[in-house]
Amino acid sequence: MKVGEARSAAVQWVARYARPDAGFRGAYFSGSTIGLPDEAELPGSSDIDIFVVTAEEDPPAKPGKLRFQGALLEVSYLRWSEIASPGDVLASYHLAGGFRTDAIIDDPTGHLRRLHAHVSPRFAALPWARRRCQDARHRIETRLAAIDTSAPFHEQVASWLFPTGVTCHVLLVAALRNPTIRLRYLAAREVLTDYGHVGLYPEILSLLGCSHLPAQRVQHHLRELAATFDATVPVAKTPFFFSSDITPAARPIAIDGSQRLIDSGDHREAVFWIVATFARCHTILATDAPRLHEALTPAFQAAVADLGISSTHDLLHRAEEVTRLLPRLWQTTENILISNPGITGQGREDTSRPPSGVRSHLRNHR
């Protein structure tokens, strides 16, 4: 499917299912596909991200991944209060990118367009880019410090894994690139290579614990994950914020997308999402199918053990290692910020131009 066709499906989904809601305040595209032209082919392991803005302070569970007119959409709710302040949006590393370009689908109040007008000309300014990097670093520090050691082990693993992976986001934000979720390690490696700091990458991989893993071992864990995934889908009943990631519609991303990374020689970059999906499956299984959870736990434990983690003590020690690397990570981040030609400030001119793919597409659908 072409990107433009998927965007058209997204626009129609918003009109049919989101706009009629009384709390609807707008919708916009987000994520890695924003910069792609309409004629580009959308990979099977990619979806179209949509944020639906709602006036409800307690919105329902996000629809998540769903198929609509052949397109795989990822729909999330965003509270109006979260984007009320343009300055807060500009300083948020996970929100600002959605308003860097004209990616607005529907804007009945005009507020989303005002946000775009505020964020877009300031997005590449050095002070704001640095604030977004600080926002990502703060997320690492606070979330690692908040690991609940009384939680089940699979939940502890997730609580350690995701902030550890935000080390990649700090670098991506400094490079003015999309802080992608599943492909964060691959993208971070590209940034470090482009800016002459590739020597840091093995250390970032070592924090995850996969720098030594051979492709055959990662392939084994993916096969075990596929079996766990397929066993989880039919028994899942309790809603979690990530529930739509463990569905038949999400399998091409969770399993097939990881396989493509392994096949391309990027097996270590596949580890993050393999372990994340493993942990999420077991969160579901522990609630909805405890016996199945118990039966499938050894495969999850083996995958995590290959990262050097077999206990809560190991997790906390690894979290400390991540914290110790932060000063060096920050120095590299500062070097990228200063040398990035797309960043304005300190006498540099803004020579960067935002991607036009979404902007031209939306003009054709208004």
What region, left, alpha or beta, does residue 75 occupy, with left being phi > 0 and alpha being psi -120 to 50 degrees?
A: beta
Q: Residue 168 is encoded by which pair of tokens?
A: 């990649």
Residue 166 domain-assigned (yes or no): yes
| Mean pLDDT of the region 102-118 | 96
Domain hosting residue 289, numbered range:
126-324
156 with 111, same domain: the answer is no
35 with 112, same domain: the answer is yes
Strands 71-79 vs 64-68: parallel, antiparallel or unpaired = antiparallel
* Burial class of residue 142 (count of CB atoms within 10 Å of its CB; 0-12, 13-18, 19+): exposed
- Could you tell me if 116 and 104 are in contact, meaning their C-beta atoms sit under 8 angstroms apart? yes
Look up the CATH number of the domain holding residue 70. 3.30.460.10
Q: Which tens digits make up the pLDDT trace of 31-50?
A: 888 878 899 998 776 789 99
Over pLDDT 70: what percentage of the chain? 94
154 with 295, same domain: the answer is yes
pLDDT band at 243 (very low <50, low <70, confident <90, very high): very high
| Mean pLDDT of the region 182-203 | 97
198 pLDDT above the threshold of 50: yes
196 with 88, same domain: the answer is no
Residue 341 domain-assigned (yes or no): no
| Mean pLDDT of the region 157-177 | 98
90 with 220, same domain: the answer is no
Alpha helices in 199-352 (DSSP H): 201-208, 215-232, 251, 257-263, 267-288, 290-305, 312-339
Count of beta carbons in the 10 Å neighbourhood of residue 278 = 28
190 pLDDT above the threshold of 90: yes
pLDDT, position 43: 77
- 36 vs 158, more confident: 158
- Could you tell me if 211 and 202 are in contact, meaning their C-beta atoms sit under 8 angstroms apart? yes
296 pLDDT above the threshold of 60: yes
Q: Residue 151 is encoded by which pair of tokens?
A: 């939680």
169 with 238, same domain: the answer is yes
- 89 vs 61, more confident: 89
Q: Which strand (E) or helix (H) includes residue 171?
A: helix 153-174
| Mean pLDDT of the region 353-361 | 43
pLDDT, position 63: 84
288 with 303, same domain: the answer is yes
* Burial class of residue 47 (count of CB atoms within 10 Å of its CB; 0-12, 13-18, 19+): buried
161 with 308, same domain: the answer is yes
Q: Residue 332 is encoded by which pair of tokens?
A: 């590299």
Over pLDDT 90: what percentage of the chain? 86
The C-alpha atoms of residue 29 and residue 50 are separated, in whole angstroms, by 5
| Mean pLDDT of the region 169-189 | 96
| Mean pLDDT of the region 164-191 | 97
17 with 51, same domain: the answer is yes
154 with 66, same domain: the answer is no
127 pLDDT above the threshold of 90: yes
Q: Residue 198 is encoded by which pair of tokens?
A: 């590739």
Token pair 């270590």 is at which residue?
A: 268
104 with 252, same domain: the answer is no
pLDDT band at 356 (very low <50, low <70, confident <90, very high): very low
362 pLDDT above the threshold of 60: no
239 with 174, same domain: the answer is yes
**Confidence (pTM):** 0.90
pLDDT, position 239: 92
Residue 140 domain-assigned (yes or no): yes
Q: What is the mean pLDDT of the chain?
A: 92
pLDDT band at 346 (very low <50, low <70, confident <90, very high): low
